[in-house]
Amino acid sequence: MSVETYERFVLNGRRPTTPAEVERQVVFHADRVSVDYGANRALDNVSFDIYRNYATALIGPSGCGKSTFLRCLNRMNDSIDGFKLGGNLTYHGHDLYGAQANRVEVRRRIGMVFQKPNPFPKSIFANVAWAPRNLGMKADLDARVERALRSAALWDEVKDRLGSSALGLSGGQQQRLCIARAIAIEPDVLLLDEPASALDPIATASIEALIHDLKLRYTIVIVTHNMQQAIRVADRTAFFSLDQNRAGTLIEYDSTDKLFSRPADQRTHDYITGQFG
């Protein structure tokens, strides 16, 4: 697809243009972030800001470090052998990897939904109630579970079988359940790691519609390899690719409209027009 097509697509106004240059609160601030796994540099020199109540998409070819970066945001890489983060990564001004940072507290505020739906082998209710119970939010649990399931657009489908196993749900329902599970503890940020890649188009559409609702309340960072999806859901998009040393790095970061219609970097242009990746 050519840049012109994108331009038409975007300028036709299918996406509401965001209020021009509204002062946005910075949620994540990455400053020359790098990631090493042992002797391998997976990510190099990534600097950008992620803003509040925006959906920010991370796109790029396979192995470009977009998922690695996402998992740095809630410290899910910590348990990987040899993982080491360089540079500076802050969340609301707090150093995510500083001595003061508490991994468990970080994850409580920054929820995550994975590529493959991973409901616990428990009932639907127990899945959503699991984290609140764990964190001692036991008051009015029923209402909390209902609220989370409604927010994840799943309530009407499961309200009559909350006690049955979550494994009996379809893939798309399981993924929305995982979203409900994540928002049941009212996080500040939702990280979505290719949340629709294992789903059929209808389930994908429902997840994307959900993201539009959710970003009113949460800051969303979504990794996707589907550029159409980035265009459909994201306010801002970061394009990652490999640098000359085969390490992933940030090439370009801009509003989704601008990045897909008038990319500043030739590599972005090549990627979004299908000439590379």
Partner 1 sequence: MRRRALNRTDRRVNIALRVLCLGAGLLLFVALAAIVEQVIVGAGPAINRFGLGFLTRSSDWNPPAQGATTAESYGAPLYMYGTVVTSLLSLIFSTVLGVSIGLFLAIVAPRRVTLGGRWRVSPAGLIGPLVELLAAMPSVVLGLIGVLVILPFFHSTVDPVIHAVLGWIPIFAKTYTAGNSLFAASAVLTIMIVPIIAALSRDLFSAVPQELRDGAEALGATRWEMIRGVVLPVTRSGVTAACMLGLGRAVGEAIAVEQVVGGQNQGVIHASLFLGGNTLASMIAANDPATPVTKLEGASLYYLALILLVFVVVTILAARWIAGDFKAKFR
Q: How far is the CB of 88 from partner 1 (least distance, A)?
A: 23
User: Nearest approach, Cβ of 97 to partner 1 (angstroms)?
Assistant: 16
- The one segment of 43-51, 148-156, 180-188, 208-216 that binds partner 1 by CB under 8 A: 180-188
Count the Cβ atoms, other than its own, within 10 Å of residue 213.
Answer: 12
Name which position in 65, 111, 172, 195 contacts partner 1 (CB under 8 A): 111
CA distances from 50 to 24, 91, 112, 219, 226 (A): 9, 9, 16, 9, 20
Residue 196 binds partner 1 (CB under 8 A): no
The CB-of-73 to partner 1 minimum distance in angstroms stands at 11
Q: Among 48, 114, 260, 271, which residue sits at the site for partner 1 (rule: CB under 8 A)?
A: 114
Smaller CB separation from partner 1, 95 or 105: 105
Cβ within 8 Å of residue 230, ≥6 positions away: 57, 59, 222, 224, 237, 256, 260
Is residue 179 within 8 A of residue 100, CB to CB? The reply is no
> Per rule CB under 8 A, is residue 221 in the interface with partner 1?
no
Q: Do 76 and 115 contact (CB within 8 A), yes or no?
A: no
Site membership for partner 1, residue 25 (CB under 8 A): no
Query: Do 81 and 160 meet the contact criterion of CB atoms below 8 Å apart?
Result: no
* Residue 211 CB, nearest approach to partner 1 (Å): 18
Q: Which two tokens stand for residue 200?
A: 């059929």
Is residue 91 part of the contact set for partner 1 (CB under 8 A)?
no
> Would you say 12 or 102 has its CB closer to partner 1?
102
CA angle at 163 for the pair 158 and 165, rounded to the nearest 5°: 85
Q: Are 73 and 189 in contact (CB under 8 A)?
A: yes
Does 51 help bind partner 1 (rule: CB under 8 A)? no
Total chain residues near partner 1 (CB under 8 A) = 26
- Measured CA angle at 48 (ends 39, 93), to 5 deg: 95
Q: Does 37 bind partner 1 (CB under 8 A)?
A: no
Q: Is 9 in the site for partner 1 (CB under 8 A)?
A: no
118 lines the binding site for partner 1 (CB under 8 A): yes
By CB under 8 A, name the one of 57, 58, 70, 112 that touches partner 1: 112
Per rule CB under 8 A, is residue 189 in the interface with partner 1? Answer: no
Nearer to partner 1, 27 or 131 (CB): 131
* Strand arrangement, sheet containing 94-95: 94-95, 83-91, 26-37, 40-51, 248-255, 236-242, 55-59, 219-223, 189-193, 110-113
- Give contact residues for partner 1 (rule: CB under 8 A): 74, 76, 79, 81, 104-105, 107-109, 111-112, 114, 116, 118-122, 130-131, 134-135, 178, 181-182, 185
